[in-house]
Amino acid sequence: MGDEARTEARNTVQIWRGLDEVPDDFGRAAVTIGNFDGVHRGHQQVLAALVHTARETGSKPVAVTFDPHPARVHRPDTAPDLIMGIDDRIAALAGYGLEAVLVLHYTLEFAAQTPEEFVRNVFVDGLRTSAVVVGHDVRFGRGNAGDLSTMQDLGRQYGFDVVVVEEFREKDPGPLTEDEGAQRRCSSTWVREALDRGDVHTAAGILGRPHTMHGKVVHGAARGRALGFPTANLDHESIGHIPADGIYAGWLVDEAGTRWPAAISVGSNPTFVGVTRQVEAHVIDRPDEAPEDFDLYGQRVAVEFVERLRGMVAYRGPEALVEQMKVDVDQARRILATLAG
């Protein structure tokens, strides 16, 4: 599905933030469930199967997801950073041909439902489900006691079909892979591992698109501007998994939807003392001749990571840093020009 088709789909999909928002006249649903963090290519394969199943059964495709992420409820101190926030997750899900996305508020009380109680409350009574589309590793209900066999038994009991989707596997180019041809199941965990080592190229391969952060542009220390490289600094409440410290080529997308080529810095610049970790993007070849027309402050922007250029290095003073920044910008410009062309 192209970008225009996805945009149209997002504009028509229904978003329900609870079972009480499901319309009485919605009809029968074909359903899949999951956390869908990242909405990666494995998730996309399930969503494609869901839409096909809905078409074959005369039902409407619905994705059921949870907010907050269950890990943040059960183990808040060790829960992983999310690849994307709930609003971005909904928007991504909506772009794959769904009729609706149901977001269930996840609490310890909700998690206490037995597998049968969950299926009866959500699938049978809530969504009048005709088919459930899941992977082999599906788990649900109290203590994740429900598995694929449980789902199939409950399907026979309550009259819905269970469609099983084979896992989506990709070649793993990571440093821990001994076999160059090794295949690995696409997962949110794999995306995080790639981002944590700065391998945004592998992360994009798993996601099917560049990894993206969203945040509000705020004023920083203005060091970049003083050095001739003004940056858009994302606030510390920005949403999305932060890649490893380093310099990246990527894109900044402003509120108007304009995509600007950018050199992105992640980390605390070691050349200067007392700088906290941050994400900042320098728009390449920005229209500085009319700065009043290029004011990003206060805007909520997206920052897309395309390629890591280097790690963070401490330079002997601003002059050496400026020379390296010129090299970084030139390299980023070449990489992005190739992609744009």
SS3 (DSSP) at 319: helix
Residue type, 320: A
Contact 40, 92 (CB under 8 A): no
Helix (DSSP H) and strand (DSSP E) numbers for the chain: 11, 14
In terms of pLDDT, which residue wins out, 301 or 229?
Answer: 301
The model's pLDDT over 60-106, given as tens digits with 9 standing for 90+, comes to: 999 999 999 999 999 999 998 999 999 999 999 999 999 999 999 99
Predicted confidence band of residue 274 (pLDDT cuts 50, 70, 90)? very low
Distances (CA, A) of 134 to 122, 160, 296: 15, 13, 42
Distance CA 272, CA 269 (A): 6
pLDDT at 2: 40
Torsions phi, psi for 192 (to 5 deg): -65, -40
Residue 6: pLDDT band (50, 70, 90) is very low
Instruction: Quote the DSSP letter at residue 228.
Output: T
pLDDT band for 271, please (50, 70, 90 cuts). Answer: very low
**pLDDT above 80 for 250:** yes
Residue 155: which residues within 8 A CB-CB, separation 6 or more?
132, 161, 162
**Helical H runs in 148-187?**
148-158
pLDDT tens figures, 172-223: 776 555 555 578 999 999 999 999 999 999 999 999 999 999 999 998 655 5
Mind listing the pLDDT tens digit for each residue in 20-33?
Answer: 999 999 999 999 99
Picking from 120, 4, 7, 123, the residue whose alpha carbon sits closest to that of residue 62 is 123
Q: What pLDDT score does 180 carry?
A: 56
What's this model's pTM, rounded to 2 decimal places?
0.88
Residue 70 three-state SS: helix
